[in-house]
C-alpha cells in the first residue's frame, strides 16, 4: 500500500516543493458557498460514473466506479482550457455512519493514484466503511490528461566519474528540451504544480457535493496534504500524512539531506549481512560488506557492468541501491543482488536474480508508462521550485562540486544524492511564490526514525509548523509507516490502530507517540 516502489526511486522520492497562490483562486471552492470567480461552470459537472479500466483489477474487485472530472488548466484563468482528472469511487458501506469522502495520494510526484484507495482499503479495516474512497490520478499523470516527453537516447557508456557526470548533464538538458517540444506540453508544463493539484482536489470535493474532504497521503502525497491544509483549512476534515520532507529545505537540499541517511541505511544492512556471512559470502564484518559495495560502485564508475542481456550504468546502480536500503525487508534481496553485482564486477557471466532483472529491464527498455512517471515527476519538481521558491542550482559545475565534496563521507550515494535534474534547463519557470506551511489544522503525521528517503528531522520540522498535529514515530528503517502489512511488510499495529481510530472517530491521540520496532514486540 505504500508508495509504488519504482516511483519512490525514479521520481522525487517524496521530495516535492509546494508553491503558493496569491490570487483569487486560493479561495475555497464550494457547492454551498459562492465559488471563486470563473469556476462556477465546473461545479455543474455530473461525473459519468461507469466501469473502471480493465488494467485496474483492484478497483474492479472492490466494486469501484470511475469517471473523469474536468478542471481548469490555469486557475488564474478558469475560463480558458481545461484538463481531465481520472477519479475512482468506492462507496461507503456504512451509509448510516457515512462521514464523507476520503482522497488519497501514493506519492511521487508522478505516482498514479486511481487504484490507490482500493489498495489501502484493507489497512483501513472498518474505518473504510464510513467513507466514499476517492482515488485519482493527479493532473498530467496516468489516465488524467498526461504528459509524455518521448524516450531519449540510450545511456552512453562512460569510463570515469567525470564522464558519467557530463553524460548526466547532457541527459538532463535533452530531457528538458524534449519535454517542452513534445505534443502540447508547452501549454501544459506551466501549470504543473502541487498547488494546482491541491486545487484540483478541492474542486473534486465540490463537484461531489461535499463540504469537506478527508485524506491520506504518503511521501510526496504527504507534502501535498500539508499544502491542502494551508490552502483550504476550512475544507480539511480528517487528514493523515505519512513520511514528509523538511519544509525549510528546497527540493535539491532535501535530496542532499538523504545522502548521509542512505549511507547509514547501507551500513545497517551491512551489519545484517555480515551476521549471515556463511549464506551470502560478502564479508564477515560490516566493514568488509560495505567495502564490497564500494568496490562495485567504483568499478561501475569506470565502465558499465554486464549482467546477462543488461548493462548497468552508475546512475541506475545508485538508484537501485537507494531503493533497496530504504526498507529493512529488502535486506535479503539486496544481499543476493550484491552477489550478482560482485560476480559481474569479477568478469563472470551472470544471470541476474528476478528482482534485479526487473529493475534493469525498466531502464534498458523504458515504456510509455515509465516516460509518464519520470517526466510528470520532472514537471512538478521543476514547476514547483521547492517549498520556498527556487532551489535548483543553475550552474552544472555546482552539482559536480557538491558530488565531489560529499564523496569522502558518502562513497556510495554522493552522486545520487547530489545528481543534476532537468530543472536547471527547464523551459518554464515556477509561476507562483512559495507557500509557508504554518497552521493549526488538526491532522495526524507519521514518520519512521530511520527513513533514509526523507529523513526524520524534516518531519519534526514540519510537525512544529503544523501546530494542530500529532506525530506518530515508528522505530524502523522504512519509507512509509501506515498499512505496511498490505504490502507484505511487517506491520506497525501501534501506528495502524492510531490512524484507523482517528479516521473512525476524528479524535487525535492525546499526545505524540512512539511505536516500538515491530520485532521488539515478539
Q: Contact, 223 vs 427, CB < 8 A? A: no
Strand partners, 86: 68
Is residue 451 part of the annotated active site? The answer reads yes
Give alpha helix (H) positions in 137-245. Answer: 161-181, 185-188, 194-207, 220-231
Answer yes or no: 517 catalytic: no
309 contacts 318 by C-beta, under 8 angstroms: no
Kindly name the residue from 297, 384, 479, 496 that is annotated as catalytic: 479
Question: What is the SS3 assignment for 87-125?
Answer: EEEECCCCHHHCCEEEEEECCCCCCCCCCHHHHHHHHHH
CB 102 within 8 A of CB 213: yes
The answer to whether 68 touches 85, Cβ cutoff 8 Å, is yes
The H or E element containing residue 59 is helix 57-61
Rounded distance between C-alpha atoms, residue 509 and residue 238, angstroms:
13
Active-site annotation holds for 376: no
C-alpha–C-alpha distance, residues 9 and 323, integer Å: 6
Measure the N-to-C terminal CA separation of the chain; round to a whole number of Å: 24
Give the separation between CA 325 and CA 262, rounded to whole angstroms: 7
Distance between CA 17 and CA 386 in Å, rounded?
Answer: 4
Q: Which of 508, 499, 415, 421 is nearest to 468 (CA)?
A: 508
CA dist 365 → 114, 168, 274, 370, 493 (Å): 25, 18, 35, 10, 40
CA distance linking residue 13 with residue 125, whole number of Å: 28
The answer to whether residues 269 and 279 touch, using CB atoms and an 8 Å cutoff, is no
Rounded Cα gap, residues 497 and 68, in angstroms? 33
Cell output for 16: 516535492
**C-alpha cell at position 479:** 519509507
Strand 443-448 to 236-242 pairing: parallel
Contact predicate 404/165, CB 8 Å: no
Of 132, 451, 469, 496, which one is the catalytic site residue? 451
The secondary structure element, H or E, covering residue 398 is helix 396-406
Catalytic residue from among 168, 193, 219, 315: 219
**Which residues are designated catalytic?**
219, 451, 479
Amino acid at each position: 500500500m505504500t508508495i509504488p516502489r519504482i516511483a519512490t526511486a525514479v521520481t522525487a522520492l517524496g521530495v516535492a516543493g509546494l508553491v503558493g497562490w496569491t490570487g483569487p483562486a486560493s479561495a475555497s471552492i464550494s457547492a454551498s458557498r459562492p465559488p471563486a470567480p470563473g469556476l462556477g461552470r465546473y461545479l455543474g459537472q455530473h461525473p459519468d460514473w461507469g466501469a473502471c479500466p480493465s488494467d485496474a483489477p483492484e478497483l474492479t474487485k472492490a466494486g469501484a466506479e470511475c469517471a473523469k472530472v474536468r478542471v481548469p488548466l490555469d486557475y488564474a484563468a478558469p475560463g480558458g482550457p481545461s484538463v481531465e482528472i481520472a477519479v475512482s469511487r468506492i462507496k461507503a458501506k456504512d451509509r448510516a455512519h457515512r462521514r464523507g469522502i476520503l482522497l488519497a495520494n501514493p506519492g511521487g510526484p508522478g505516482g498514479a493514484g486511481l487504484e490507490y484507495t482500493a489498495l489501502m482499503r484493507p489497512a483501513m479495516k472498518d474505518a473504510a466503511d464510513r467513507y466514499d474512497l476517492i482515488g485519482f490520478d493527479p493532473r498530467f499523470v496516468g489516465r488524467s490528461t498526461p504528459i509524455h516527453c518521448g524516450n531519449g537516447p540510450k545511456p552512453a557508456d562512460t569510463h570515469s566519474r567525470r564522464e558519467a557526470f557530463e553524460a548526466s548533464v547532457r541527459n538532463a538538458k535533452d530531457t528538458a528540451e524534449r519535454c517542452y517540444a513534445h505534443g502540447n506540453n508547452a501549454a501544459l508544463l506551466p501549470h504543473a504544480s502541487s498547488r494546482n493539484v491541491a486545487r484540483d482536489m478541492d474542486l473534486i470535493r465540490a463537484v461531489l457535493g461535499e463540504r469537506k474532504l478527508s485524506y491520506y497521503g504518503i511521501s510526496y502525497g504527504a507534502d501535498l496534504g500539508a499544502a491542502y491544509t494551508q490552502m483550504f483549512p476550512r475544507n480539511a476534515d480528517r487528514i493523515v500524512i505519512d513520511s514528509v520532507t523538511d519544509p525549510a529545505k528546497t527540493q535539491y537540499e532535501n535530496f542532499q539531506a538523504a545522502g548521509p541517511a542512505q549511507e547509514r541505511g547501507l551500513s545497517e544492512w551491512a551489519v545484517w549481512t555480515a551476521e549471515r556471512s556463511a549464506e551470502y559470502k560478502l564479508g564477515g564484518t560490516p566493514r568488509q560488506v560495505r567495502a564490497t559495495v564500494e568496490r562495485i560502485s567504483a568499478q561501475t564508475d569506470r565502465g558499465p557492468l554486464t549482467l546477462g542481456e543488461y548493462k548497468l550504468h552508475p546512475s541506475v546502480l545508485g538508484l537501485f541501491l537507494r531503493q533497496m536500503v530504504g526498507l529493512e525487508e529488502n535486506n535479503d534481496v539486496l544481499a543476493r543482488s550484491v552477489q550478482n553485482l560482485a560476480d559481474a564486477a569479477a568478469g563472470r557471466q551472470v544471470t541476474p536474480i528476478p528482482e534485479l532483472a526487473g529493475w534493469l529491464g525498466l531502464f534498458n527498455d523504458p515504456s510509455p508508462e515509465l516516460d509518464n512517471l519520470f517526466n510528470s515527476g520532472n514537471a512538478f519538481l521543476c514547476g514547483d521550485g521547492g517549498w520556498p521558491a527556487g532551489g535548483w542550482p543553475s550552474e552544472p559545475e555546482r552539482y559536480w562540486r557538491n558530488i565531489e565534496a560529499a564523496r569522502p563521507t558518502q562513497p556510495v550515494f554522493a552522486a545520487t544524492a547530489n545528481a543534476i535534474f532537468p530543472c536547471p534547463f527547464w523551459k518554464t519557470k515556477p509561476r507562483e511564490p512559495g507557500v509557508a506551511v504554518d497552521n493549526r489544522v488538526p491532522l495526524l503525521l507519521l514518520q519512521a526514525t530511520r527513513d533514509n528517503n526523507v529523513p526524520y528531522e524534516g518531519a519534526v520540522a514540519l510537525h512544529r509548523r503544523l501546530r494542530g498535529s500529532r506525530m506518530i514515530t515508528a522505530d524502523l528503517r522504512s519509507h512509509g509507516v501506515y498499512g505496511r502489512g498490505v504490502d507484505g511488510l511487517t506491520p506497525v499495529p501501534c501506528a495502524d490502530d492510531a490512524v484507523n481510530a482517528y479516521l473512525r472517530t476524528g479524535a487525535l491521540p492525546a499526545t505524540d507517540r512512539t511505536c516500538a520496532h515491530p520485532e521488539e514486540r515478539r
